[in-house]
Structure 1
């Protein structure tokens, strides 16, 4: 028998998926482990997809996507980025996942290094390893509020490092990087001649702080930016994302996109166009809802004496259950799902520095949040009191 490529076996499995699938198999379990919006897709978005189907607009599009969608994305991001964003910079992808794969395909080869946050979104390391590159964690420490320390990032750079990956607002942490920190991190990349891959998929969901794009500080064409319609517009199943690339990469993009996915399905692109150019009431409602869910969750955690990281953005809350996890939060989370019927994502699924923490999805309904969080074990001093 021919062998399976060794690097395919080296891709780590998702600890989030394991807990979630276990919960789905348990009758009545409350699932707080996955970021699936509990809100409906806006009617005008669904209507645009139906219209495309009704007119049989189901053929190939250009590799980069339909021109109106790419132009709309460029018009949306141009003032945010503070530098020109044109149609040729915008590439429509099969969700944020394919945007990540495409961006890494452009920037690393076998044996190259990608600086990934720890804790950080697991597919950052998974996609890196699938391309036979090396994930190089940089620490996000509790004592720093889980924000990157530019000196620690710089210390993690080796002669193989090619990419610095940033994520703001963060999955799983809910942190948003302030402007001065983003500028410092882009400067670190400039000093060491690294690409910057900035995952800004939750940019629409920030609370009391502005979203700061990394591209705003890009003076020499080294920043690539990821966006997705999945969470912002409750379109996870449509699979539409965006990769914004520097000018120098634009000529390469048709060939790379052709080799991976050719193009995103046409009705989904028209749905994304409607999402971006139509009424934004649903996005505003989602932002308010997730903020309310964040505040609701912190009340339940406070009642149990469970510390949590203030979330200034995104759709997750990061909480410290080290008092109960016994040094193995993954095993504890599995037991919690089996015995209490509530699934939370173990922090260790996001990196070594996530041990003792859990990620709670704020996209669950308020009812599920109340039911699930009420089953978390209180700290001994709180329970005794």
Structure 2
């Protein structure tokens, strides 16, 4: 279903936003939620319920949710769902969850409130049962019923996507919408696609690039590839490190993301003779300096429902090498050779290396891809994305009165 366009003079809504981690360094899902909150707080009364908060925006009210048990994670997820359900049962027009929570019924200003669920990842049920039949499916069910963790996640998910008149489901890409439809057949009637957006920056000058490299501790000369992702393994860093030795010696790689697994990949880089060519920058609260410092983005992800980092890099005018649409949601919107280079199988070192060699060795191609990338990204500004989200809110609120 496509979100309706809200009319002029719409009322100010009181909205509860649920995110366990409200911190821009958390990842793409967190940056998506934060950007929408910043936009919508200009027109609505926004309340954020989170366990970790590292953000401040004018007009936003923050409510810290307790974390009595950090691990196992499934117990904390259940606690967070219960605690936020209790906190948002009354007084809100909309409860908008980016988490695996149920939040079925409540009352806002005397009426049942609207419910919006934004899905950033492939459903647990899909990962567990997709393609399994017969004995294989039975064995998987046995595994599920013997695991409190899996039972909790599946139970929360089933409640989350239960068909209700006031419920709206938002997915970040068409491909994720198709997966949702195959996994939860009732979901299409409730579902809208709202992609991530981007803050559209000025293009970096050569002076800006040099200053960013110095600030980040990167070499001031040579070609800088950028990799951004907290889950190094899932985002394809291992394959990228295998492809790097075949690139010109002046090509360096800057890695942005949580540093927990950096030692493992540092060892891989050293074993491949890449000492001095790979720089682990850790998690950055603001990734913009890394985009300014880079000459291209490499994103050989094995699984991304959208991939905000690709859109952000394109907005900075960077040429992009990314996985094909089978692995990366945004790639379904891109054109190979026009505004990006797409790799059919991101695990294929030769294919990835060939695309990276094209990027590093052809200045005219880089210029063309960068210009077209920026043109593509200009159609996904956060202000427009927020209007789409707002329309979903009003659709849900209208359903509470019917």
- TM-score after normalising by structure 1: 0.32
- TM-score after normalising by structure 2: 0.30
